[in-house]
Amino acid sequence: MSGKSTSQVLQPAADSFKPLLLTYKEDLKAVVLSYLGRSVLFLITCSSVLSVLLIFLFVAREAIPFLTKVSLVEFLTSTAWYPEAYQDPEFGALAMIVGSAYVTVVALLLSAPVGILAAVFLSDIVSFRIREVVKPLIEILAAIPSVAYGFFAVLVLAPWMQKHFGFPTGTNALNASLVLSVMALPTIISVAEDSISAIGRDLREGSYSLGATRLETIFKVVIPAAHSGIIAAIVLGMMRAVGETMVVWMASGNASQIPHPWWDLSQSIRTLTATIAGDMGETAQGSDHYRALFALGLLLLVLTFLLNGLSEYFLGSKRKASGQK
Q: Which is nearer to other proteins, 218 or 251 (CB)?
A: 251
Q: Which is nearer to other proteins, 80 or 203 (CB)?
A: 80
Smallest separation, CB 301 to other proteins (Å): 22
Question: At its nearest, how many Å lie between other proteins and the CB of residue 308?
Answer: 29
- Total number of residues binding other proteins (CB under 8 A)? 35
- Asked if residue 94 binds other proteins (CB under 8 A), the reply is no
* Contact call for residue 148 and other proteins (CB under 8 A): no
211 vs 281 by CB, closer to other proteins: 281
Based on the shown chain and the rule CB under 8 A, indicate whether residue 285 belongs to the binding site for other proteins.
no
Distance CA 133, CA 253 (A): 37
Residue 98 found at the interface with other proteins (CB under 8 A): no
Crossing angle for the helix pair 227-243 and 173-198, to the nearest 10 degrees: 150
- Please count the residues of the chain: 325
The C-alpha atoms of residue 152 and residue 142 are separated, in whole angstroms, by 15
Element holding 81 (H helix, E strand): strand 81-82
- The minimum distance between CB 49 and other proteins, in angstroms, equals 33
- Residues 198-237 close enough to bind other proteins by CB under 8 A: none
Out of 168, 211, 261, 323, which residue is the one contacting other proteins (CB under 8 A)?
168
- What are the residues whose beta carbons fall under 8 Å from the beta carbon of 43, sequence distance 6 or more? none
Rounded to a whole number of angstroms, the minimum distance from the CB of residue 284 to other proteins is 9
C-alpha span between 253 and 206 (Å, rounded): 52
Interface with other proteins by CB under 8 A: which range of 19-27, 58-66, 80-88, 98-106? 80-88
Rounded Cα distance, 226 and 195, in Å: 6
Question: Can residue 158 be called a binding residue for other proteins (CB under 8 A)?
Answer: yes
Interacting residue with other proteins among 111, 171, 187, 228 (CB under 8 A): 171
Does residue 317 bind other proteins (CB under 8 A)?
no
Smallest gap from residue 158 Cβ to other proteins (A) = 7
Cβ 271 vs Cβ 252: under 8 Å: yes
Distance CA 197, CA 170 (A): 40
If binding is defined by CB under 8 A, does position 85 make contact with other proteins? yes
Residues 242, 303: Cα–Cα separation, whole Å = 9
Stretch 40-79 residues interacting with other proteins (CB under 8 A): 79
Provide, rounded to whole angstroms, the least separation between the CB of residue 281 and other proteins: 6
Cβ closer to other proteins: 280 or 307?
280
What is the rounded distance in angstroms from the CA atom of residue 192 to the CA atom of residue 169? 35
Please choose, from the candidates 278, 292, 302, 272, the residue with its C-alpha nearest in 3D space to the C-alpha of residue 72: 292
Give 255: exposed, middle or buried? Use CB within 10 Å, 0-12, 13-18, 19+. middle
Contact yes or no for 207/105 (Cβ under 8 A): no
In the complex, which residues of this chain contact other proteins (CB under 8 A)? 79-80, 82-87, 95, 154-155, 158-159, 162, 168-171, 249-250, 253-257, 267-268, 270, 278-283, 289
